[in-house]
Chain A
Amino acid sequence: MTISRRQFLDLCKQSAAVLGLGAAHLAQLEKALANPDAPTVIWLQGSACTGCSVSLLNRISSTAPATIADVLIQVINLRYHPNLMSLAGQPAAAIAEDARARGGYILALEGGVPTAFGGAACWAWSADGRDVTLLEAVEALAARAAQLLCVGTCAAWGGVPAAPPNPTGVKGLQAIALRQTVNIAGCPPHPDWIVWAIANMLTGTVGALDSYGRPKALFNRTVHDLCPRRETEEARMYGQDGLCTEELGCLGPHTVGPCPVSLWNGRQNWCVDANSLCIGCTNPGFPGLYLRRNTDGHDD
């Protein structure tokens, strides 16, 4: 038995009721019925760890779409996603090929694209008995996409797998597609940033990008500028509440991102509120040559 879209909507409404969402939100859920042909999103994973997808699943917001279930039912048709889709094997690959033939979708990429060894460090799927590399799949799908979304620092610039010596020659999507990408940086990116990007790509309201392809609406000030601990005394070691961790090696002054206002995991915490460091995960050069040069504030 396959439940209908209508029945599924009812189930989601029950879930929304549990979350204490109001009538206005439920009315928006109802509208989903009028739009069963929401825009297609094809989500590929390259040299990735799946952390960006896990982060997206953590979406919870007081504004619609409130949860990941709402994103899937209201906002997009997520036709290809390796972790969530039912189909496997050639029938799954055929869905991506069908979308490519139709064109006009958003291509979302999680993880960078390995280019060394002819791209063969990462295969997307087998087709007609042949191993198709992720590089081939991304080139083909990017060419017919309406817009390109980089989910996370790896997709945008390579990230951790591209750290020296970049053993598999990982590159970001823009370097492969040679088209502008919308880069939602972070390792992982905050779920609100990913949902913001998808929603605004659909309505053409992403606005200006910075020189690294990050939407200025999200990425406009350093973590340090926004940090509530900016003017406080310096912490001398980990585990000291309320103190600035710059002397311990916090990269907040050199990192653009809205973490101190977005807050993480239902606004429960974030890296500096945990007395830890910003390790600069939204930076194009992340992870650079060091992350934790000086854990205890002393060089002894």
Chain B
Amino acid sequence: MATTTSPITITIDPVTRLEGHLKVEVTVDVKDGLQQVVDARATGTLFRGFELILTNRDPLDAPDLTQRICGVCPVSHGLAATTTLENAAGLVAPDNARLMRNLVLGSNYIQSHILHFYHLALPDFVSGPDMPPWQPSWAADKRIESQSADLIGHYVKALEMRRKAHEMGALFGGRLPHPPAFVPGGFTTTPRSARIRKFKSYLNDILGFITRTYLPDVRLVADHYSDYFAIGRGPGNLLAYGVFDEDSTGQHKLLRRGRIQGSSGVLPVDPNAITEQVTHSWYSEQSNNRTPASGSTVPQYPKAGAYSWLKAPRYAEVPCEVGPLARMTINGDYSSGISVMDRHQARAEEALKVAEALQVWLRQLQPSGPVYRRYSAPAAATASGLTEAPRGALGHWLRISGGKIVNYQVLTPTCWNASPRDSAGVPGPIEQALIGTPVSDLDQPVEVLRVIHSFDPCLSCAVHVMRPAEGARIFALGHYHSEEEVHEHGRSH
């Protein structure tokens, strides 16, 4: 077993079993007699430039295009974009549309949560079958003996259940991933009774799996790894925009909006208190500390002290954890604490809460009621749409001028969780959660993976180039291209 007596940096690249590209560097040293992480840096390693792609396009393209930011949470992007466009026009979708959006979004929450626990996180705790892609693997600290075959059996069963959750959502969504039914003005599908019956049948099957298999399996893993209720706390600030509208006003949600700062109670959320800091990101200081609505970004590389393409979002200057644990805690549904195991526990309990709510929304559908109101995008408007992806708070900010998109900003959950240090040098939530994590074997730092995976990171969502200011240079990693050159490249492709 590899150990150290002086600080040593371990690079984990790629961090596998998450969505997108992530590199993590941890410095490990012996402190208070325990070999542990003493410093951590998270770096997103892919960017695509979605904001640039959206600029100059018809606003009606935003739902379909922003879904392609992420194949694991496309429904959340589709909902954020349609909500943003409806807010821009002051239009409220019919109730049937609200309900079908909830039903498709809830189906995707369930598939995402099941996928996360069994297929992304569980291999950190249980050895997979003796064949690729599960082997080879790190053998360190596998504590579950007699029930591990059961858990692998449930891994297979969970593949089936997450597939069924997608089939359930596709009944109304059209297909998953990337459902075509989310349009500003409402929804394209009608809630025919045959679809309602099929949805109910799927839902019964899935509810049985959540209560009889998923929740007990999380408890089983938690029992064997109870030390992980004290590992991976992070900053202790929680933020949720709220999700699943319970009425057409959008004011009442299944999971409410709010935030908790340290030991505070639940506080209100003011979107204008959100800023993005770039001191340790590859952007010019002149774009530091802007709100997403006024975000203008000037990339700069190289830059002393910078190490990530992610900006550092902060609420009133503090880093915040987002995700199921934040939502469930803020909603008063979970109160055990903040840790690796609390994240798994809260996520599983949220899956049950959402599945039970799906039963209610299904009953509220009016099979012959309207699903869509004619929508035209305004020629000029500024609007935003705040919702929650399975892995946390998601916001879209839009400016339309001359009937075209002139600025589109996306602030994703993993931007919050995997953010780099801010201007005050305070690390982001995943970085903070890693610091203090014990590492027994430097060659198999599975403890580091467990902390990272507990956040369910989605890096494709997180890294995107903001629209640069007039005449700004678009940069990546060692080379400069003027905006004109990039446009030229696009045309010649």
Contacts and interface: CB of A to CB of B under 8 A. Distances in A.
A256 B172 CA distance: 24
A219 B465 CA distance: 35
**Residue among B14, B18, B52, B136 with the most chain A CB within 10 A?**
B14
Given A160-B68, A275-B189, A165 B145 contact: no
B68 A187 contact: yes
Given A79-B133, A165-B53, A287-B64, A50 B20 contact: yes
Interface string B160-173: 10111011011111
A227 interface: no
A89 B183 contact: no
B436 to A, nearest CB: 20
A95 B192 CA distance: 50
B159 A165 contact: no
A247 to B, nearest CB: 14
Interface in A96-113: none
A256 B51 CA distance: 29
Contact of B17 (A60, A88, A187, A265): A88
Given A55-B177, A69-B159, A122 B21 contact: yes
A207 interface: no
B17 A239 contact: no
Given A53-B71, A237-B374, A168 B476 contact: yes
A54 B17 contact: no
A291 B67 CA distance: 13
B32 to A, nearest CB: 26
B489 A238 contact: no
A147 interface: no
Contacts, number: 355
Contacts of B181: 274-276
Interface of A, secondary structure class, is loop
B145 A118 contact: no
Given A121-B476, A160-B68, A292 B174 contact: no
Given A1-B148, A11-B156, A264 B16 contact: no
A89 B145 contact: no
**Residue among B49, B169, B175, B198 with the most chain A CB within 10 A?**
B175
Interface in B387-438: none
Nearest to B485: A116
B13 to A, nearest CB: 4
B60 A92 contact: no
Interface stretch (B121-129, B236-244, B324-332, B346-354): B121-129
Interface string A131-159: 10000000000000000000000000011
B17 A277 contact: no
B212 to A, nearest CB: 14
Contacts of B68: 49, 51, 159-160, 187
B235 interface: no
Interface stretch (B40-48, B214-222, B272-280, B334-342): B40-48
Interface size class of B (residues with CB under 8 A): 35 or more
Nearest to B465: A167
Contacts of A270: 174-175
Contacts of B48: 47, 114, 121, 160-161, 167-168, 170
B130 A2 contact: yes
Given A86-B137, A121-B46, A269-B171, A77 B131 contact: yes
Contact of B53 (A15, A40, A124, A163): A163
Interface string B140-168: 00101100110011001101101110110
Nearest to B182: A276
Contact of B478 (A77, A82, A120): A120
B16 A87 contact: yes
B481 to A, nearest CB: 7
B180 A271 contact: yes
B188 interface: yes
A62 interface: no
Contacts of A266: 163-164, 167, 170
A202 interface: no
B167 A158 contact: no
Interface string B1-36: 000000000111111111111010000000000000
B129 A5 contact: yes
A48 B487 contact: no
Contact of B136 (A49, A87, A118): A87
Contact of A275 (B123, B131, B188): B188
Interface string B204-240: 0000000000000000000000000000000000000
A164 B16 contact: no
B169 to A, nearest CB: 8
A171 interface: yes
B464 to A, nearest CB: 9
A89 B57 contact: no
A1 B49 contact: no
B236 to A, nearest CB: 27
A268 B167 contact: yes
Contacts of A118: 477-479
A116 to B, nearest CB: 6
Contacts of A90: 11, 13
Contact of A89 (B11, B46, B371): B11
Contacts of B189: 239, 274-276
Contacts of B172: 274
30 contacts: A1-B142, A7-B129, A8-B152, A18-B160, A19-B160, A51-B71, A73-B131, A83-B17, A86-B16, A86-B133, A87-B138, A88-B15, A89-B10, A89-B11, A117-B481, A121-B48, A121-B477, A160-B65, A162-B493, A165-B489, A167-B53, A169-B493, A238-B185, A238-B187, A266-B164, A268-B198, A274-B188, A287-B65, A290-B61, A295-B60
Question: Which 9 residue pairs across A and B have the least CB separation, nearest first?
Answer: A51-B71, A167-B49, A274-B174, A120-B477, A86-B137, A265-B170, A8-B129, A165-B490, A166-B490
Given A54-B115, A83-B18, A123-B21, 16 more contacts: A11-B156, A15-B153, A15-B157, A54-B71, A67-B160, A86-B137, A89-B11, A117-B478, A161-B48, A161-B53, A162-B490, A167-B474, A169-B486, A276-B181, A276-B183, A279-B64
